[in-house]
Amino acid sequence: MSMHAQFRRRYRLDETPVHFTLNGVLETGRRGDTVLTAILSVSGRLRQSEFTGEDRAGFCLIGACQDCYVMMADGRRVRACSTALEPGMAFTTDLGAMAEVAHE
């Protein structure tokens, strides 16, 4: 992605790579990552707010709020901070693309 990553991976660099798709681009996380960690390791934001369009990166990061929900490419929503990254997951975090998925 063109944005600088929020997180810079310093540990667990040798963990097994886990491939996922973010807004149509193939990205790589690591075994043991949450969805939030994987996305913020490659992107400057977790998602765009569906209400204001502003960038969001999560809030509590412990599963107590709802700020980290991200939409999967198939239309399901998952809580990024407490969902384990699995191979082949695909996420849509841009407002325009989210609206298209929601109306399919």
Distance CA 92, CA 17 (A): 20
Residue 30 has a pLDDT of 96
Query: Closest by alpha carbon to 72, among 31, 38, 30, 32?
Result: 38
- Edge to edge, what strands does the sheet with 77-79 contain? 25-30, 17-22, 90-92, 69-72, 77-79
Residue 84 has a pLDDT of 97
| List of domains in the chain | 17-99 (3.10.20.740)
The model's pLDDT over 1-60, given as tens digits with 9 standing for 90+, comes to 346 877 777 777 788 999 999 999 999 999 999 999 999 999 989 998 888 888 888 888
Distance CA 54, CA 47 (A): 8
Residue 13 has a pLDDT of 76
Residue 71 has a pLDDT of 93
Query: Closest by alpha carbon to 86, among 1, 11, 2, 17?
Result: 17
Strand partners, 92: 71
